Structure 1
Amino acid sequence: MESDLGLWAIPLAVIGGAIRVSTPILFVSLGETLTERSGRINLGLEGTLVFGAMAAYATAVLSGSPWLGVLVGALCGAVFGLIHGVICSIPKVNDIAIGIAMMLLGTGLAFYFGKPFIQPVAPDLPAIPLGWWSDLPQVQAALNVNVLFVIGLIAALALAWALRATRPGLILRVVGDSTDAARAMGLRPAMIRTMATAIGGAFAGIGGSYLSLYYPGSWNEGISSGQGLMAVALVIFARWSPINCFWAALLFGGAGALGPALQSVGVTQGYYLFYAAPYILTLGVLIATSSTSRALTGAPGELSITK
């Protein structure tokens, strides 16, 4: 690669890697944005992501259809979100504690039911060859964009519009900002939050299906690498904006692609340190957004982390 592209190989590899790595983070962060805009935080999306990856992969292996796998992953994510939402609707139940319990449940069930599917090979999701104009295989590989990335971009734009310009979006924002105001309008905050949590779980399930059916494109117990928890920090960094989630996901994806990019151009010493870049970035985001003297800009008023 070095002889073909020289130093251009590094930014090209980072861009291509950012697109690949960012897709599951994007879907999880969009789901968490929807959930948190309703006034609830869901730390269980890591478990939802892993279980969705397993369910999608198993379905694709058994049916031969990767898209059926994506659908099943989304349905499983919605079920996990629905369970989380229903439990958190009980008075005096802590949503953060329930989220941690759901994370452990999701990963545990995925490891248990996923053992028979570690060896079998599932069909991959299709990709769009945006590098068709180049004869260099490196360019073609870097610009091979999965369909789910495009769907994620469309979903981010649609969610941003819906939250700003539609009645359901207004209802969600009212419920997230003030339970009392929502009840005064005749709304049912608990039901709305439960529905938002279920839809958020479905997004996380789709993100999991991308992991197992495209990149890295296999099922194993370490497939997530904490991306579900990273997405929660990303939502805070993005200030609960779906559009900002898209750009922030690309930033996190680029950080995750830095190590492999350096390795691909022949860097043999120290490149592995850059594999820690996404986790360092997550820690930096949490530190930068933490303050005892000022509120989080754009945070829903009913969100537990703002109280």
Structure 2
Amino acid sequence: MAAEALGWWGVPLAVGAGAIRVSTPFLFVSLGEVVTETSGRINLGLEGTLVMGAMSGYAISFYTGSPWLGVLAAGIVGSLLGALHAGICSLPKVNDIAVGIALLLFGTGLAFFLGTPFVAPQAPNLPSIPLGFWSDVPQIQAALKVNVLFFIGVAAAPLLAWALRNTGVGLMIRMVGDNAEAARAMGYSPLTVRLWATCFGGFMAGVGGSFLSLYYPGSWSEGLSSGQGIIAVALVIFARWRPMYCLWASLLFGGAGALGPALQSVGISQGYYLFNAAPYVLTLVIMIIACSPDRTLAGAPGELSITK
């Protein structure tokens, strides 16, 4: 590893490179959930969507030989799970949070069941861009290989921020999320808007899942996600429902997730599992700090379930 070859100077490099890799699923899931929650619906089932996207993307890549078809398939499967969530939530007296938990269990269970044949076979993985071409050190070259999906996610953050503020579709989503009655008076259907917003959130979560199985770590197994879908939902609250904040928060969580392997590479193995728990500890600390009475739901859409 880069840190091992460069000594302690390699730790920041390893953490930075690891942050890019680890943050990519967080980024896609959180950006999709921003749109979903801006429309006034929360989807706690994204962990199941993430795992199902990872499995389906890996399976399609294995059968077709094209990892990009796997990414597309993962997004489509995620959209279908999003549509299922939206359809159930559109029924009278149905709670978004309860449905999300049920679909989390459904999605993970279905992925584990259908993905059993793909635990051993190796599917084609997504390519990376060699940003370390300037160096002759193999460890630096390996650390600075960045997948295209990360750049797509980085570009999507400002694009979504602009679209939500400056387009008719963005205005419609925000209006439905803030005041459904006002949206109906303007001729919009809140259920329809939330359906498409939830499908978009599911698509992004599915794509984030495909990154896990098709690039990092680049294989399919039942323990692939480690709760990243749930953490990403908490990340949206921390980011105050702003796409650009989701980008920075994802990098922060990604760096926390890369800290353990970076320190281990320079010989610090004591407390390794404690360092691996850094993303979960960070989630808890951030939620405690953010959960003051005057700041907890600052910027939250008025129709969101957690605001009522």
Range that drifts further, 135-144 or 293-302: 293-302
Deviation at 1:180, TM superposition (A): 1.1
Aligned residue number for residue 213 of structure 1: 214
Deviation at 1:271, TM superposition (A): 2.8
Pairing of 1:65-214 with structure 2 (within 5 A): 65-214=66-215
Pairing of 1:20-59 with structure 2 (within 5 A): 20-59=21-60
> Residue 184 of structure 2 contacts residue 190 of structure 2 at CA under 8 Å; is this kept in 1?
yes
Q: Deviations over 1:143-186 (max 9, x none)?
A: 11100000101111110110011000000000000011111111
Aligned residue number for residue 299 of structure 2: 298
Which amino acid is 1:259 matched to? G
Q: Deviations over 1:277-306 (max 9, x none)?
A: 000011112222223455522110111111
Partners of 1:167 and 1:72 in 2: CA distance: 29
Partners of 1:212 and 1:198 in 2: CA distance: 21
Aligned-CA RMSD value:
1.1
**1:40/1:3 CA distance change after superposition, 3 Å:** closer
Q: Deviations over 1:32-53 (max 9, x none)?
A: 1110000000000000000000
Identity %: 67
> Residue 21 of structure 1 contacts residue 253 of structure 1 at CA under 8 Å; is this kept in 2?
yes
Aligned length in residues:
307
Partners of 2:184 and 2:290 in 1: CA distance: 31
Deviation at 1:6, TM superposition (A): 2.3
**1:177/1:294 CA distance change after superposition, 3 Å:** same
SS in 2 for 1:216: coil
Partners of 1:153 and 1:60 in 2: CA distance: 24
**1:293/1:12 CA distance change after superposition, 3 Å:** closer
Deviation at 1:268, TM superposition (A): 2.3
User: Does residue 228 of structure 2 align to residue 224 of structure 1?
Assistant: no
- Give the 4+ runs in structure 1 shifted more than 6 A: none
> Residue 78 of structure 1 contacts residue 198 of structure 1 at CA under 8 Å; is this kept in 2?
yes
SS in 1 for 2:291: coil
Output the TM-score relative to the length of structure 1: 0.98
Q: Deviations over 1:236-257 (max 9, x none)?
A: 1111011110110000000000
Q: Deviations over 1:104-133 (max 9, x none)?
A: 000010000000000000111011111110
Long gaps (5+) in structure 2: none
> Residue 233 of structure 1 contacts residue 285 of structure 1 at CA under 8 Å; is this kept in 2?
no
Partners of 1:287 and 1:16 in 2: CA distance: 28
Which amino acid is 2:87 matched to? V
Output the TM-score relative to the length of structure 2: 0.97
Long gaps (5+) in structure 1: none
Deviation at 1:3, TM superposition (A): 6.7
Partners of 2:286 and 2:162 in 1: CA distance: 26
